[in-house]
Structure 1
Amino acid sequence: MPLTQDARASSLYRLTPALMAAVAAAGLNVVIPLASPLLVALVLGLVVANTPLADRRILQDQAGLTRLLLRWGIVVLGLKLPVDAVLGIGVGGIALVVGTVLITYYGTLAVGTRLGLEPRFVTLLAAGFSICGAAAIAAVADTVRARQRDVALAVALVTVFGSVMIVLVPWSAHLIGLDDRQAAVWAGASIHEVAQVVAAGSVLGGGAVALATTVKLGRVAMLAPMSILVARRSAGEGSTTAPLLPWFVVGFVATAALRSTGLLPESALTVAGVVTNVLLAAGMFGLGLGIRLRELWPVPGRALALATLSTAIAAGSSLGLLALLM
């Protein structure tokens, strides 16, 4: 049934805080590039949720809007994926990307199981650390019926550990004697978020940013097949009835295909990048509204251990494949 005019007005009214938080987070990211807008928005929501402001009517019943914002953010994310450029990294580069994603994903699942962590949280962390950070976590959260606290903790960990990699990967690449091209490929294949890869590429200098980002976008392209793997695994465990490929992942594939036609002007792609960040950040704000600080603190030691080992798996497997394939 179509929404009435009053219902549409109410939805837009309730969207206001999330959109304001997203714009604020994006503005902070311009001033402080290492401040992930998604994490900043999540923290803003968390702070609001733990103050008397949480009782305001405008902040009630945000769960449905949060899911919608995150899903449309993933759809628009496809416009940031130049498939032709990804294919340009060659057979060796594609094999490296696929191998790193699979090893990191299944390695994280195995370690998380051994540590005795909750399976849904382990799946979130495995998807985020192997593919593209917070966006991947949001993409699989519904499939595994993840709790909000698990999603928030996974997003926080992937952001913090990815930020550490911004410094660690360039330093390590210099230490072990990688050339500029090898260092850029390693950064793109191992660091968790696209923005973090751009930052690491800037540290490396030269043409590293373009190559590192292209390799990273190859990992982003794994979002659709990885969503199928997660859905099949969850269905096998009886924990979900979600479709193998949710509509928003189909939308992600469609927008990536549209980007690859070359029909969209550069200005439209720039706007799409901003819209993606705003939608995902607004969704993260809504996610934060559903969390109480006592549910996140202290951070479980086993979760920190899994994040550390998952990061090590991503860095080690990508470096090994780099030496073998390129």
Structure 2
Amino acid sequence: MQKMNEDVLRKKNKLQFRLGKYKGYMRGIVLTLVLAVVANQVASFPFFSIMGIMIISIMLGMLWRTSMGTQDQIVPGVTFSSKYLLRAGIILMGLRLNLSQIFESGLSVLLIDSIVIVFTMLVMVGLGKLLNVDSQLNTLIAVGTAVCGAAAIVAVASVIKSKKEYTAIAVACIAILGTIGALAYIFSYPLLNLDSYSYGVLVGATLHELAHVIAAAVPGGDVSSETAILVKLGRVALLIPVAIILGYIYTKKDKKGKQDKYSLKTLPVPWFILGFLGMSFINTYIPLPETLVNALILVSVFLLSMAMAGLGLSIKFSDFKKTGFKPVLVGVVGFILLAALGPVLLLLV
């Protein structure tokens, strides 16, 4: 009888433990959901709209962590958001791309985007090495500047197995620089003496986030906005080869002379990047209702925002102090040089 009571008590304790873990899981996910909803509301205000919902989400997550702390019970749910919802959001983000539009725009757009990425990566990685910036952090800041801001950073962070604090620092750096850049373009537009198409190319080729591009292109009108988004999406499409190349480089570094053993599990690019490409192909070659595509893109943005909130909840502001000023300097110099490259790029239009 005593043994039976002990078994019942053991099962009861195990059930309570599982329920507690499940509740903690849900509380973590709900917290990231609430922060993403708040970020969406904040992003509706004029100035904050330039930053975008994803960047505001990570800032709110960090602010919550600093002011309220995080309980151990919610960590699994927060991790779920920052890991699995992130991957789902990146896959759905592929629906932004219509590959035929990029191909139809001619080689000039792809050539401009390729030059932007190669130039920016080489310059910023070289400068980071010169200043002894951590290789992973330097790579994330470079890819965020060269490709597509926060989305590129979090995608590549998974490929190179970067530390969470490096991902957050890189996202924050790109958010601030991109916002400043967008405002600078908006105020300087009357002085640039560029037609709408050329201004759109300049904005799409040199600014960080899609939100930055959309905001900065407004003064040039519809032609400028459409051109800027097209050029920017060309850079987004090039995230795939960039991730593959970086994955290969870091895989070789990690092996440190060990014999290479290639399999599906050791591909130097995570499967969600291939999912991103697959969604791009679906959107390009399979006719989907426009309302469905737009709805899934909104879901993508929201999932990425929850992931950013989860990432922010995992980071302390004190982590920024450890890295020093040098990574920020790399980001600033890289953006200035990319902007200076802009007039040269316009010669290819």
Mapping of 1:132-211 within 5 angstroms?
Answer: 132-172=148-188, 174-211=190-227
Q: Distance in 2 between matches of 1:249 and 1:83?
A: 15
Q: Give the percent of matched residue pairs that are identical in Structure 1 and Structure 2.
A: 26
Q: Distance in 2 between matches of 1:283 and 1:222?
A: 22
Aligned-residue offset at 1:299: 6.9
Structure 1: 5+ residue runs without aligned partners? none
Q: Distance in 2 between matches of 1:229 and 1:82?
A: 23
Structure 1 residues 243 and 188: CA distance shift in structure 2, 3 A: same
Mapping of 1:1-326 within 5 angstroms?
Answer: 11-32=25-46, 33-55=49-71, 57-59=73-75, 62-172=78-188, 174-238=190-254, 243-297=267-321, 300-323=324-347, 325-326=348-349
TM-score by length of 1: 0.91
CA contact (8 A) 2:25 2:74 kept: no
Deviation string 1:174-200 (CA, Å, 9 cap, x unpaired) is: 434322211110100100111110101
Deviation string 1:205-247 (CA, Å, 9 cap, x unpaired) is: 2421111101100000001100011111112322799522210
Matched residue type, 2:331: A
Q: Distance in 1 between matches of 2:142 and 2:239?
A: 12
Q: Distance in 2 between matches of 1:298 and 1:37?
A: 27
Count of aligned pairs between the two proteins: 322
Q: Distance in 1 between matches of 2:91 and 2:316?
A: 29
Aligned-residue offset at 1:136: 0.3
CA contact (8 A) 1:170 1:204 kept: no
Aligned-residue offset at 1:123: 0.7
CA contact (8 A) 1:128 1:192 kept: yes
CA contact (8 A) 1:17 1:59 kept: no
TM-score by length of 2: 0.85
CA contact (8 A) 2:51 2:212 kept: no
Q: Distance in 1 between matches of 2:74 and 2:21?
A: 14
Structure 1 residues 177 and 16: CA distance shift in structure 2, 3 A: same
Aligned with 1:306: secondary structure? helix
CA contact (8 A) 1:34 1:196 kept: yes
Moved >4 Å (runs of 4+): 4-13, 170-174, 239-242
CA contact (8 A) 1:42 1:287 kept: yes
Greater gyration radius = 2
Structure 1 residues 5 and 58: CA distance shift in structure 2, 3 A: closer
Aligned with 1:252: secondary structure? helix
CA contact (8 A) 1:104 1:317 kept: no
Deviation string 1:138-187 (CA, Å, 9 cap, x unpaired) is: 00112222111111110011111111121223555543432221111010
CA contact (8 A) 2:24 2:73 kept: no
Matched residue type, 1:224: I
CA contact (8 A) 2:182 2:212 kept: yes
Aligned-residue offset at 1:72: 1.1
Matched residue type, 2:43: N
Deviation string 1:93-142 (CA, Å, 9 cap, x unpaired) is: 21111111111112111111111100000111111110000000000112
Q: Distance in 2 between matches of 1:166 and 1:64?
A: 33
Q: Distance in 2 between matches of 1:5 and 1:208?
A: 54
CA contact (8 A) 1:103 1:313 kept: no
CA contact (8 A) 2:198 2:224 kept: no
Q: Which has the higher helix share?
A: 2
Q: Distance in 2 between matches of 1:194 and 1:77?
A: 12
Q: Distance in 2 between matches of 1:22 and 1:103?
A: 34
